[in-house]
Structure 1
Amino acid sequence: MVRIVVPAVWTPQGRTDFEGTAGPLDEVIRDFAACHPQFARRLLDADGTPLRYLNICLDDDMIPRHQRVGATVGPDTVVTIISPMAGG
């Protein structure tokens, strides 16, 4: 089972842990947004393409933005989505 973890600030209910599907990372993100439309605006642009400014980890490895198109999510992977942060 793929486990998808979203930032706690995204959900007022406090639920951060969801089930997802295995496959190419972009498809996993699109499928998750389709099943949980309350997160779609945070995950996808107007064309339905996953936003590249989000930080995404597969298990314990941060996936660089330029490698996401070729990244694959295995059946027992934890996908962690991390919001970008600004500061100074």
Structure 2
Amino acid sequence: MVTVLLSAGWAHRGQRRFVCPEGTVRDIIREFVATYPAYRRRLLDSAGEPLTYYNVYLDGVLVENVDRARMWVGSDSTVAIVPPLAGG
């Protein structure tokens, strides 16, 4: 299984670690939302496609938006979903 990590700012009820079956980054995000629909508005657009404003890391390496549909994630990998940060 793939481990999915969310930042504390997006965590519902404090849960930040989840598991999903292997697949492409896009598939994992969609499967994650299917299992945890409370995250849909943050992660998918109205057509069910992953939004592009947040960053996704596969085993600590940034996955570019154009690569999400084809980048394969095997079991024992970690996908981190990181919301955009604003500073001042």
Q: TM-score, normalised by structure 2?
A: 0.91
Query: 1:21-60 to 2 correspondence within 5 Å?
Result: 21-60=21-60
Number of paired residues? 88
Does 9-18 or 27-36 show the bigger shift?
9-18
| 2:13 is the counterpart of 1:5 | no
Shift of 1:34: 0.5
Structure 1: distance between partners of 2:36 and 2:49: 16
Query: 1:76-87 to 2 correspondence within 5 Å?
Result: 76-87=76-87
Structure 2: distance between partners of 1:12 and 1:24: 24
- Aligned sequence identity (%): 39
Q: TM-score, normalised by structure 1?
A: 0.91
What is the CA deviation profile of residues 2-29 of structure 1, one whole-angstrom value per residue up to 9, with x for unaligned ones?
A: 1000111112421100011101111111
| Paired AA for residue 79 in structure 1 | V
| Structure 1: gaps spanning 5 or more residues | none
